[in-house]
Amino acid sequence: MKQLCTCGGRKIFGEVFLPDGEGKVPLIIFSHELGQCHFTTEGYARVLNEAGFACIIFDFCGGTEPNLPNESDPNPDMSVISERDEIMAIVEAARGYDRIDPEKIILCGASQGGMASALAAAELGDAIIGVALMYPALCISEDMHNTFGSLDNVGERFDLWGGFMNLSKRYVSDVWDLDVYEKLAKIKKPVLLMHGDIDDLVNISYSLRAADVLENCEFHTIENAGHGFAEESFVTASGYIKDFALRLIR
């Protein structure tokens, strides 16, 4: 792991996979799920690296549950907005990396990393050429409203899912008034959207609505897949990402 950049004074660490050869190459930046770390995106990065892409995997600051490794600086006030900002910081830094073609950068995110990638894409405009989203957690704002009812009911810190992670009020306040579909409508670049049909954490209906809002969207239902792609669904999703990314750079 190496330091990729800083964001808000915090150091972000990750790995950069470069294909063999010389010259500038396109880049895909992979963003992991809430509570996870760079491990969950490494398989995708290796597949795309073999297809000729440079790939970055990294740890969100404060985005990993305590039992998993995270080499980036801690952020006790992590939220989907802080993760959006970290993705944007990585894009800016990567544009200056040796061998990275700054005109061919693609985002790819899963679950909360998918929502953060979508929000980053809405802000980045022509700085990227496309974004791939796997089971994006577009439900976060609605979930927080259903859980707390009012911002006044949110303590300075709270446990998520019975202690899976301990989060600050910023996690809730950052999305309380966020209309994620309004943000999605601002994305003019091509979007690949994939969601499992038996996802019991983020219902596929959120992605179906996103597909209607997005200006240029390729949508795939991943059959018999829940919240996370493994085995056959991983192979299927990897293939969709590879085909999508190759079309973008032609």
Give 62-95 pLDDT, tens digit per residue.
Answer: 999 999 999 999 999 999 999 999 999 999 999 9
Q: Evaluate whether 104 touches 168 at the Cβ level (below 8 Å).
A: no
Q: Nearest to residue 72, comparing CAs of 119, 15, 126?
A: 15
Domain extent, residue 231, equals 2-138+181-249
Residue 103 in any domain: the answer is yes
> Residue 52 belongs to a domain with what CATH number?
3.40.50.1820
pLDDT of residue 119: 98
Over residues 23-53, the pLDDT tens digits come to 999 999 999 999 999 999 999 999 999 999 9
Give pTM, 2 decimals: 0.98
pLDDT of residue 31: 98
Residue 131 in any domain: the answer is yes
Q: At what angle do helices 39-50 and 232-249 cross, to 10 degrees?
A: 50
Residue 54 in any domain: the answer is yes
All residue ranges of the chain with pLDDT < 50 are none
> Around 130, how many Cα atoms within 13 Å sit in the side-chain half-sphere?
23
- Written as one letter, the residue type at 85 is D
Report how many domains make up the chain.
Answer: 1
Residue 222 in any domain: the answer is yes
